[in-house]
Amino acid sequence: MNDGYEAFRHKESQALSDLVQKRFHYLQNPSDCSTARKLVCKINKGCGLGCQLHHIVYCFIMAYATERTLILKSKGWRYHKNGWEEIYMPVSETCLDSEGETQGTWPSTDVQVLTVPIIDSLNPRPPYLPLAIPADLAPRLIRIHGDPIAWWIGQLLKYILKPQPETAEMLENGKNKLGFKKPIVGVHVRRTDKVGTEAAFHSLDEYMKAVDDYYDQREMVERIDKRRVYIASDDPKVIDEARRNYPQYEVIGDPEIAKHAAVSTRYTDTSLNGIMLDIDLLSKSDFLVCTFSSQVCRVAYEIMQSMYPDASSRFKSLDDIYYYGGQNAHNVISVMDHQPKSTDQISMKTGDLIGIAGNHWNGFSKGKNIRNNQNGLFPSFKVNNKVEVADFPTYSHIDE
């Protein structure tokens, strides 16, 4: 945006990030671990890294909202048996054990050590789950960021994902070896076990069309010497196909990484390195083209939000709109009346709340009008996103 407020946005974004990172640090480093209130989170979800990171972030939100230190339990982790702390820095410098006088499971919150189930099974469901952002941050955040919830998740990921020196070295070497440099569009092509079960197939040409559009736009205002893409996939053929069919592009990517990403070989140290590198480089790209049905891509998008004051427009999803698995309802607000033009459309009055289920990318979205209970299609331009806000502790005693 060229409105003369770029410097303000940079400064304000940095200040907000510093503020929440300081709060996380305070929460995670109690002076006496034996009496600290704790929230225990097991990385036991039988799913991929993106899904597990979202599980940890959900636990961290619960910890932040209930003022408890997050304790990660990761021995026997499917990606690395010795646990999280050999790959990433421990989430606390002072408190890693889950000992305590009293133990209990949500919603028994009057215990010292609280365990929470996976987000889908959480009951009752507190209002501060995604897509809600903390009320005390909302006015400042909404002013500078186009997708505040992605920023909030990005900040939680930023705190959790501090690589151990060996991991940092692996990421740096991987980046250099591949020749990753800007300008670059990160393309994530999710195939194998996902296609036909949880997501539809999309051809490489569809992804590359979106990449072309991105570069065409940039070239209207600047010269691009080389159109470059970084391709991450769980299907090695995709990288070969891109090299073959798009010679005008510099294609960066490693079919070897993709080979280890396939479902049969997914949970080894080699594949963990591969997926960490892929997520890192996707998040460092100028723009992301992917399917938001994949948690890999959503994680990359969320991390990207901590790299720019506002990276909310730096993506193109070929399928879903942004969501957080297990989220509370996602509503949009109608800003114009709408009369149905066919039986599959719904009627709307200005100010109606619509629970949105998805965008069909043909000008229409699908959802349910909460006022009249109609379920169906409506023109996407007639609604605005509703930013959900919830009360969290404000940690005001440490903000001075």
Residues contributing to the site for ligand GDP (CB under 6 A)? 47-51, 188, 190, 194, 232-234, 257, 261, 266, 271, 274-275, 278, 294-296
Handedness of CA 123, 129, 135, 137 (dihedral sign): positive
Alpha-carbon distance of 228 to 182, in angstroms, equals 8
* Smallest distance, ligand GDP to C-beta of residue 202, A: 13
265 vs 350 by CB, closer to ligand GDP = 265
47 vs 357 by CB, closer to ligand GDP = 47
Separation of first and last alpha carbons in the chain:
32
Is residue 364 within 8 A of residue 379, CB to CB? The reply is: yes
* Smallest distance, ligand GDP to C-beta of residue 121, A: 18
41 vs 232 by CB, closer to ligand GDP = 232
DSSP 347-398: -B-TT-EEEEEEE-SSSEEEEEETTT--EEEEEGGGEEEPPEEE-----GGG
Residue 315: closest CA among 202, 174, 147, 200:
147
* Smallest distance, ligand GDP to C-beta of residue 270, A: 10
38 vs 316 by CB, closer to ligand GDP = 316
* Smallest distance, ligand GDP to C-beta of residue 324, A: 12
239 vs 389 by CB, closer to ligand GDP = 239
Is residue 175 within 8 A of residue 282, CB to CB? The reply is: no
Alpha-carbon distance of 150 to 200, in angstroms, equals 24
Residue 149: closest CA among 360, 398, 386, 397:
386
Helix (H, G, I), strand (E, B) or coil at 263: helix
78 vs 368 by CB, closer to ligand GDP = 78
* Smallest distance, ligand GDP to C-beta of residue 199, A: 8
Residue with tokens 């704790």: 38
233 vs 306 by CB, closer to ligand GDP = 233
* Smallest distance, ligand GDP to C-beta of residue 257, A: 5
Of all residues in the shown chain, the one whose CB is closest to ligand GDP is 48
* Smallest distance, ligand GDP to C-beta of residue 388, A: 23
Tokens of 44: 């036991």
291 vs 331 by CB, closer to ligand GDP = 291
* Smallest distance, ligand GDP to C-beta of residue 119, A: 14
Cβ-based neighbour number of residue 269 at 10 Å:
14
Residue type, 224: I
Residue 207: closest CA among 241, 247, 257, 255:
241
* Smallest distance, ligand GDP to C-beta of residue 48, A: 2
Is residue 82 within 8 A of residue 7, CB to CB? The reply is: no
* Smallest distance, ligand GDP to C-beta of residue 278, A: 4
Cα-based distances in Å from 382 to 229, 293, 350, 352, 353: 34, 24, 9, 11, 12
16 vs 56 by CB, closer to ligand GDP = 56
266 vs 382 by CB, closer to ligand GDP = 266
Tokens of 142: 């909404």
